[in-house]
């Protein structure tokens, strides 16, 4: 019995109107200076050893998918990763950022274009920073520290009695100053 050659039995996808997907390498450099709870994990040794992930060159890969690929390599949760491309944030900029990374494709960020032109360039990966602190909370905490009081306790008291200022939303601002649309 003659066995069919597996290479010859594969259908030609270009004849069926399909195009062949080519992959682009994206180099990832891990900045482990702020890994917090993961500081003593296997992540710290990766700073000397950048790694590469491959994505289709059509740019359809989303930031969420890219983070998933990176997280699998680092063995860390994808939602704790912060990516920088050309010194700009790629995706969420802090833990509480509501940006939907599943809707942000790499083609909209020029990652594929520049990775093809300069294959030696790197994307930086580090831990997602905490959300920004409300400036009024920061002021309250600073004053409490200067007065040798517990800052957390002072902020809690101010929230409870309503004396802690907060930045108005646009709707609150319009209501406060009787602004109509």
Query: Quick one: pLDDT at residue 2?
Result: 46
Strand 81-85 to strand 51-56: parallel, antiparallel, or no bridges (unpaired)? Answer: unpaired
Give yes or no for a contact between 50 and 27, defined as CB atoms under 8 angstroms apart: yes
What is d(CA 124, CA 89) in angstroms, rounded to the nearest whole number?
A: 9
pLDDT digits (tens, 9 = 90+) for 33-58: 555 555 555 555 555 578 999 999 89
CA 76 to chain centre: 13
* Residue 87 exposure: Cα atoms within 13 Å on the Cβ side: 0
Query: Quick one: pLDDT at residue 33?
Result: 58
The pTM for the full model equals 0.66
């Amino acid at each position: 019995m003659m066995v069919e050659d597996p290479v010859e039995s594969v259908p030609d996808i270009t004849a069926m109107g399909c195009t062949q997907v080519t992959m682009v390498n994206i180099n990832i450099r891990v900045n482990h200076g702020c890994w917090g709870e993961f500081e003593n994990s296997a992540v710290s040794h990766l700073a000397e050893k950048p790694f590469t992930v491959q994505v289709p060159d059509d740019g359809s890969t989303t930031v969420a998918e890219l983070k998933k690929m990176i997280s699998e390599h680092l063995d860390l949760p994808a939602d704790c990763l912060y990516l920088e491309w050309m010194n700009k944030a790629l995706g969420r900029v802090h833990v509480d950022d509501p940006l939907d990374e599943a809707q942000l494709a790499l083609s909209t960020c020029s990652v594929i274009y520049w990775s093809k032109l300069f294959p030696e360039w790197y994307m930086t990966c580090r831990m997602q920073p905490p959300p920004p602190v409300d400036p009024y909370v920061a002021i309250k905490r600073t004053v409490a520290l200067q007065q040798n009081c517990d800052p957390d306790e002072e902020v809690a008291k101010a929230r409870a009695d309503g004396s802690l200022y907060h930045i108005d939303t646009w709707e609150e601002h319009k209501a406060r100053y009787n602004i109509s649309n």
